[in-house]
Chain A
Amino acid sequence: MQIEAISKANSPEIACVVLCCRIFIKTASAEELEQFVQAHEMDWDEVYKYAAFHRVRPILYKVLDNCKIPAPVLGRFRNYCRALSVFAFERQVESARIQQVLGQQGIVVRMYKGLDFTKLVYGGDIGMREFTDMDMMIDSRQLPELAKVMTAEGYECSQIEYLRRFPEHYVANKKDICFYKRSPMGKLFGFEFHHRPGNFLMDQSIGFRELLGQDYLHHSAPFSQEQYYRLMLLNHGASDYFPNLRSLVDMALLSQKGIGSVPEQLRRVERLSQELSMRLLDGPAAATPADNVVMRCATRITKLQLTVTLRSVWERRYMHIRFSASFSDTFRMAMKFLHYLMLPNELDINGVQLFSFKLYYLAKMVRCVNFPGRFKKVFSRV
């Protein structure tokens, strides 16, 4: 898509954000940005807002730093990036500490995505990519022990009761366990420990082993670009349907290195990634044609990204059904989605003490039909 066409159909501000991403991945030149900025009256507050939505503020700062833009605007980006760098440093130190503490207790974890990914793909600079949580991989058998250690370290988790009482259901239904703590500087440290990469609604035939190799947890060598390419296809694509420009920049940077083949289950997502990269980031055209569903999906995501529309949790889940490959897949996914809707979660398990997991299906129904306060008294008595 031409930048002018994006500007006319949407706004010059979102076109500017897209153009900065293109410059960063070298599919556009800085001169194009200079000309574009001169030709359009830009609301820089909007540019900042859109960059924040797309989680590409460090990219915009890097690109705009060499461009003639108002000093206060650049200052706003700079301040954010300074804060991000400082927070990234703190998180790096805390991640190393937690890994060490867990290692001393015989719990093997391995950092991935976030900081580790940024170091590999963004030229070693951990302040170049926006991120929030620290992600680690773990063997599901070590989750109960992990919960004990993290709690002792002062971290809070709303899922501990669920894990303690129904560990098998937890592992079957949840892909991770999350812990949070305020840093001494008042910022929130969040750790997500993943025992598998895909959520409940996703194809479970592809796990960490299929993506990264048999000894993915114990291997001392850092993950390669190829391993991350597969992992991010699953994470950004199959799981999140490319929610922002950052996810596409990640994929573009990875694919520029010349990646080999991906597992069969990820081919459609890879094709979707290529289509989006071509439309939004002016990436190379894909060698193979995409099916109609992939094209419709690409159109929908492009529209959401250019109109800076936040996807609700439900829309994200619905996309799994909407963009299934075939009618039978759609039906299967719809059934899975229904199961997901009924599936109890930590809110139900923390809210009421029942002796069987099956009874929590009922508890969830009661909670979900709890229109303002209707069943509040019932629950408070239980």
Chain B
Amino acid sequence: MTQHDIVHRNEKQFMISNLGNEIVLMDIQQGHYINVNPVGSVIWNKLAVPIMVKDLIHSLVEEYGVSTAQCEDDTLKFLQKLQQHHMLNVQ
């Protein structure tokens, strides 16, 4: 995945419940449960519409006041996890 990819959450095969600032998802086909922590939930909500990875990182850096390098590293790792669980469409 590169910073120029456009990403969009894939919620078709999931049931979703918002628990305060966390999210619980169930993969309907696999029967797995996924708990997304508060920061992950913020990213998940931003992925409701297609967004370029670099724009996503930029908005998180602005929101949380963290270093770009740190944010880039953490965000890419999180997006890769979403992709592993079929929770992400990448264009």
Contacts and interface: CB of A to CB of B under 8 A. Distances in A.
Interaction A to B = yes
A61 interface: yes
Contacts of A78: 19-20, 22
Interface in A108-147: 125-128
B20 A61 contact: yes
Contacts of B26: 86, 89, 93
Q: Which 7 A-B pairs have the closest CB atoms?
A: A127-B17, A65-B20, A85-B17, A89-B26, A85-B24, A89-B15, A81-B19
Interface in A56-88: 61-62, 65, 78, 81-82, 85-86, 88
B21 interface: yes
Chain B interface, >50% SS class: strand
A125 B15 CA distance: 9
A82 B35 contact: yes
A92 interface: yes
Contacts, number: 42
Contact of B17 (A65, A88, A93): A88
Given A85-B24, A86-B26, A127 B19 contact: yes
Interface of B: 15-22, 24, 26, 28, 31, 33, 35
B18 A127 contact: yes
A85 B16 CA distance: 8
Contacts of A88: 15, 17
B33 A86 contact: yes
Interface of A: 61-62, 65, 78, 81-82, 85-86, 88-89, 92-93, 125-128
Contacts of A93: 15, 26, 28, 31
B21 A65 contact: yes
Contacts of B28: 93
Contacts of A92: 15
A212 B24 CA distance: 33
Contacts of A127: 17-19, 24
A86 B24 contact: yes
A92 B33 CA distance: 14
Nearest to A66: B20
B66 to A, nearest CB: 23
A82 B24 contact: yes
A92 B24 CA distance: 14
5 contacts: A82-B24, A85-B19, A88-B15, A89-B17, A93-B31
B40 to A, nearest CB: 15
A95 to B, nearest CB: 12
A89 B16 CA distance: 8
A62 B20 contact: yes
Nearest to B24: A85
Nearest to A96: B28
A109 B36 CA distance: 35
B15 A82 contact: no
A93 B33 CA distance: 13
Contacts of B15: 88-89, 92-93, 126
A85 B22 CA distance: 12
Given A82-B35, A86-B26, A126 B17 contact: yes
